[in-house]
Structure 1
Amino acid sequence: MPGEVLFSAEGPVAFITLSHPGKLNAMSRAMWRELRAAFERIQSNSEWRCVLVRGEDASFCAGGDISEYPEFRFEESALRDFHESDVWGGLAAMLDCDVPVVAQIEGACMGAGMEIASCCDIRIAGESTRFGAPIAKLGFPMAPREAQLVARAAGELTAREMLLEAAVLRAAEMKARGFLNRVTADKAVAAEALASAQRAAALSPQAARLNKQALRALAQGRQPHQPYRYADSGEHREGIAAFLEKRKPAF
């Protein structure tokens, strides 16, 4: 079966599910485009307050769909278009999303999986999950912006180890290196990721969006635009009033 990126929602939580049966959810070109479309849809709709990204059948993403590679990887302009349009288009849509993004990481998180996970705000993995980017075994490097993304999220030394040694690391090691927020028993990771998404979705959506915009600006070496413009907003007033009145805020 061809791979696809599935979209669903339960209340304020949107679910993005990577699905490529028989290939551990390896990303095809079409899946990269679908990932971009899904996140652009979420960004343009205030209905969803958190996104949970996961893979089907207890595997996050094993990398790219190598069976497609002979179609485009051996010609420079076609290879550039794949990385700069398809792949970066999907990753940029994730990075530009102002809604909190939680990663439910299970099984294999390799190559493209590392890149997708690196775009998420909160990363939760099962204890048997394996992480890496052993693409040097295939004779090619990670594209520059993708390498920068992984190095920023996982740390430069970890990125170098994955790319230069083809190292595959366990979840506990990735947690110790600061890539993961939490590691749970494999059978508990889905419930823990959902609970995290629900906690984020219950908070002020305005605060989440402004926090993400500010963090993105600071990471790019610039100051957030009008960081105090929320002063007279309804959510700001409601949050303060609810605290003073000792009740749950209605966001």
Structure 2
Amino acid sequence: MQFETILFSLEASVARLVLNRPQRLNAFTVTMHHEVAVALDSLLDGHDARVLLLTGSGRGFCAGQDLSERNPESAEALDLGANIDAFYNPLIKRLTELPLPVVCAVNGVAAGAGVNIALACDIVVARKSAQFIQSFANIGLLPDSAGTWILPRLIGPARATALMMTGDPLNAAQAADWGMIWQAIDDEAFEEHVESLVRRLAVAPTRAMVAIKNAIKASSTASLADQLDRERDLQRMLGRTEDYREGVSAFKEKRKPNFVGR
């Protein structure tokens, strides 16, 4: 597929989606939203991908919304809620509901919705030089793209509230220390580290990876009894997979398992 604002490829079970507007720090436009949606939807039916890597081109990951598409001086009142309904909410739902692990490699600054899009992914790693900026309040808005839902659950309400109200940048090392992301990686080792991670997940037991992410997401609103039942049901399903049989056989035979994602 040929795109104008993203790069998208699938090779060796790894799908790679690169936001590709480096001159605008990969800020989202309507065209980019449409193209990202097409790419993500292509992973839902008859695909060979077992992991998705989301990253950005150039010196930044994503600056959120491209404000050049906004005209607040227009006589007609802006309906930002309609834009969220049309684009950002569906994007977050697509990312969180993909039936495969999603890795976000934050290669540079992530600002506004760019932060929250990254945090909607399953595993987030960042260059140590990267920064996370909840910049919404700087233009009179509140964080969207699930930012007010995800961030307090990751770092607590006190830190989340301060970051959102001040718009202060948070460096990658501090984000990792706070549990907001998984790892902050030295810049010179970043690309090799990311490649090793996605290659590892591409040969992992995919259905187990999906069950893990779904169980963790459900746990935030589930009672203990509900979560125990969910674990039981998911474990029952996984116990009937080819990968479970292969995993047990490999363990008994003291060899590396050959998982096929089924």
* Pairing of 1:50-65 with structure 2 (within 5 A): 50-65=51-66
CA distance in 2, matches of 1:89, 1:72: 28
Looking at structure 2, the residues matched to 209 and 107 of structure 1 have their Cα atoms a distance apart, in angstroms, of: 27
Displacement of 1:168 in angstroms is 0.7
2:170 counterpart SS class: strand
1:152 aligns with 2:144: no
1:249 and 2:257 correspond: yes
Q: Which residue of 2 aligns with 1:134?
A: 135
**Which residue in 2 is equivalent to 1:96?**
97
Q: Which runs of 5+ in 1 are unaligned?
A: none
How many residue pairs are counted as aligned between the two chains?
A: 249
- Answer yes or no: is the 8 Å Cα contact 1:25–1:59 preserved in 2: yes
Please identify runs of 4+ aligned residues in structure 1 that moved more than 6 A.
71-74
Report what 1:83 is aligned to.
84
Q: How has the CA–CA distance of structure 1 residues 177 and 14 changed in structure 2, closer, same or farther, with 3 Å as cutoff?
A: same
- The whole-number CA distance in structure 2 between the counterparts of 1:158 and 1:70 is 32
Asked if the contact 2:151–2:180 (Cα under 8 Å) also holds between the matched residues in 1, the reply is no
The residue type equivalent to 1:233 in the other structure is T
The one-letter amino acid of 1:88's match is: N
* Matched position secondary structure for 2:216: helix
Q: Which deviates the most, 67-76 or 97-106?
A: 67-76
The residue identity in structure 2 corresponding to 1:243 is F
Identity of aligned residues (%): 28
Match for 1:117: what amino acid? A
State how far apart, in whole Å, the 2-side matches of 1:66 and 1:130 are: 20
Contact 2:113 2:145 in 1 (8 A): no
1:139–1:202 CA distance, 2 compared to 1 (3 A): same
* Cα distance in structure 2, aligned partners of 1:191 and 1:86: 32
**Structure 1 residues 11-30: aligned runs within 5 Å:** 11-30=12-31
Equivalent residue for 1:125?
126
- How far is 1:154 from its partner? 4.5
Q: How does 1:1-251 map to 2 (within 5 A)?
A: 4-70=5-71, 75=77, 78-143=79-144, 145-221=146-222, 223=227, 224=230, 226-227=233-234, 228-251=236-259
Aligned CA RMSD, in angstroms, stands at 2.4
Cα offsets for 1:165-224 (capped at 9, x unmatched): 111111111111111211122122121111111111121112112222222322342543
Distance 1:249 1:38 in 2: 30
| Displacement of 1:72 | 11
Moved more, 25-34 or 164-173: 25-34
Contact map agreement 1:36 1:91 (CA 8 A) in 2:
no
Q: Helix, strand or coil for the counterpart of 1:70?
A: coil
Instruction: Report Cα offsets for 1:132-164 as digits up to 9, x if no partner.
Output: 112222122223844223333454333212221
**Taking structure 1 as reference, are residues 22 and 3 closer, same or farther at Cα in structure 2, changes over 3 Å only?**
farther
TM-score of the two chains, using structure 1 as the length reference? 0.89
Shift of 1:55: 0.2
d(CA) in 2 for partners of 1:103, 1:245: 35
What secondary structure sits across from 2:23 in the alignment?
Answer: coil
* Distance change >3 Å, CA 180–CA 142, structure 1 → 2: closer
TM-score (norm 2): 0.86
Distance 1:152 1:165 in 2: 19
